[in-house]
Structure 1
Amino acid sequence: MTPEHTSNEHLSEPGPIRADLGRPETAQEEADRKAENTRLHRARQNLRNLAAALGVTVLVVLVLVLIVPRNDNPRSYDVDYAAAASEAQPGYTEQLAAPKVPENWAANRAEIREGADGVTEWYIGYVVNDGDTPVGFVGMSQGINANETWVVDKVERRAKTGEIALGGVTWAEYDHTDLTAEEAGNTRYSLVGKIGDSTFVVYGSHSALDVQALATLIAEQHR
């Protein structure tokens, strides 16, 4: 009889030796290894894509910063509040305040508003400058036939701390300069005074002296 010949040509080659086990890896281990290699390749590819996208975004922002024109000049305010008061005056029997303020003050807004409880309010806001640099804000709100709700709203519900006489008018004082500018906002120091049928609330974010100066000018204008 012809000796039986066993052919190994259809048998799978053993996998690489697993150094940690000292034997060839099994088919399952080989499949797991290839799957992990594929996952790592995809993760690296995603990371490269993310880095490329981020680089493009930074480049676009840089281009926009370079090409968008910027005005580095200090912002100026030149609202003619006296003219605005004169234009609005025919609609009101009460004299609308338009005091002449220091030269380093500049109005940034002057307008008729409707306040709490529908109270008609004449408002002027001033920026106080040191040279070309704004250093503070002072504002006045003239409420016509105002009520207590309007006053409480204008002083942002802060407590009255005393009284002060300025320009022949006794003003209720709301001195909260112990607060930081960030905590107190535009009503760090406020004064409330009644002249005729108008209730004036004068307030500021920087200096109590500036607020007192404006209150004095308003009182003198309405003598």
Structure 2
Amino acid sequence: MKKPAPIVAELGRPETPEETAARKAESSRVYRASQNVRSLVAALIVTVAVVAVIVFAVPRGEPASVRTIDLPGIAADVESTMQSPVVVPELGTFWRVNKAELTSGSTVVWDVTLAPADEDERGYIRLAQAFDADATWAPQRLNGIAPTDTVTIDGREWDVYKPGDAGAKQNITYAIGTQAGSDYVLLYGSRSADSTAELAESLTPQIDALTEDS
């Protein structure tokens, strides 16, 4: 004898075959949806774990250190090459060297670029010692600007150049130059006249020595 279909409480009667099929289909849908959510959560967890492994596994290394320039060593090599002394700024605690090199061309030049060691200080000064040159060489570095005045620093007379708009592209606002024996020494850049004069004063003994040796 066939067992009668159970009465469904919500219906108060047995389910019809269509209702039974619909209920099972809905149960399957809900189950599949829950599985999809679980799969999504599991995939998210795996992704986060992989990212964490990459972040912590990749070597960081140390921050790049500031390149140290051996100014005295480079100067000695230049003197050996040129068979002539060069002016070497004493850095103290204020200046650092950004570049030091021998520049070739129609006039060979010993170039040293200085900037304040304190990053809160702005500007730079370049020392350019042109070998076997005079004041007529300086305009080559200053966009054709000729000296407009002179200033005496520590007993030595310096030509004064004021590049103005002509020096704007190169960020040159002030320059002074003086003859040092057979060479011409030019200080130019974006520091103030006072700051440039202080550097010039510190170079006086070396420049005087060049003058006496010529």
After TM superposition, the score normalised by the length of structure 2 is 0.60
Structure-2 change in CA distance of 1:185 and 1:75 (3 Å) = farther
Which residue of the other structure, out of 140, 163, 172, is the alignment partner of 1:187?
A: 172
Please tell me whether the aligned partners of residues 129 and 135 of structure 1 are also in contact (alpha carbons under 8 angstroms): no
Bigger mean CA offset, 89-98 vs 192-201: 89-98
> How far, CA to CA, are the matches of 1:96 and 1:151 in structure 2?
17
Amino acid at match of 1:97: V
Structure-2 change in CA distance of 1:200 and 1:94 (3 Å) = same
**Partner residue of 1:4?**
none
> How far, CA to CA, are the matches of 2:158 and 2:76 in structure 1?
26
1:175 aligns with 2:165: no
**Partner residue of 1:113?**
103
> How far, CA to CA, are the matches of 2:198 and 2:80 in structure 1?
28
Structure-2 change in CA distance of 1:217 and 1:74 (3 Å) = farther
Deviation at 1:186, TM superposition (A): 3.7
**Counterpart mapping for 1:81-160 below 5 A:** 81-115=71-105, 118-130=106-118, 132-133=119-120, 135-147=122-134, 150-160=137-147
The alignment yields a C-alpha RMSD, in angstroms, of: 3.2
Post-superposition Cα deviations, 1:20-53, rounded to whole Å, max 9, x if no partner, equal: xxxxxxxxxxxxxxxxxxxxxxxxxxxxxxxxxx
Post-superposition Cα deviations, 1:137-182, rounded to whole Å, max 9, x if no partner, equal: 1111000012555311112212422101123321100135x669x8
**Partner residue of 2:151?**
164
Structure-2 change in CA distance of 1:208 and 1:167 (3 Å) = same
> How far, CA to CA, are the matches of 2:72 and 2:200 in structure 1?
17
Deviation at 1:135, TM superposition (A): 1.3
Post-superposition Cα deviations, 1:115-139, rounded to whole Å, max 9, x if no partner, equal: 4xx1110000011143x44511111
Deviation at 1:70, TM superposition (A): 10
User: 4+ runs of 1 displaced by more than 4 Å?
Assistant: none
After TM superposition, the score normalised by the length of structure 1 is 0.58
- Total equivalences in the alignment: 152
Structure-2 change in CA distance of 1:105 and 1:74 (3 Å) = farther
Structure-2 change in CA distance of 1:164 and 1:148 (3 Å) = closer
Please tell me whether the aligned partners of residues 78 and 106 of structure 1 are also in contact (alpha carbons under 8 angstroms): no
Post-superposition Cα deviations, 1:74-123, rounded to whole Å, max 9, x if no partner, equal: 984531212110122112243111121341211011010024xx111000
1:80 aligns with 2:70: yes
Structure 2 unmatched ranges of 5 or more: 1-54, 209-214
Structure-2 change in CA distance of 1:70 and 1:195 (3 Å) = farther
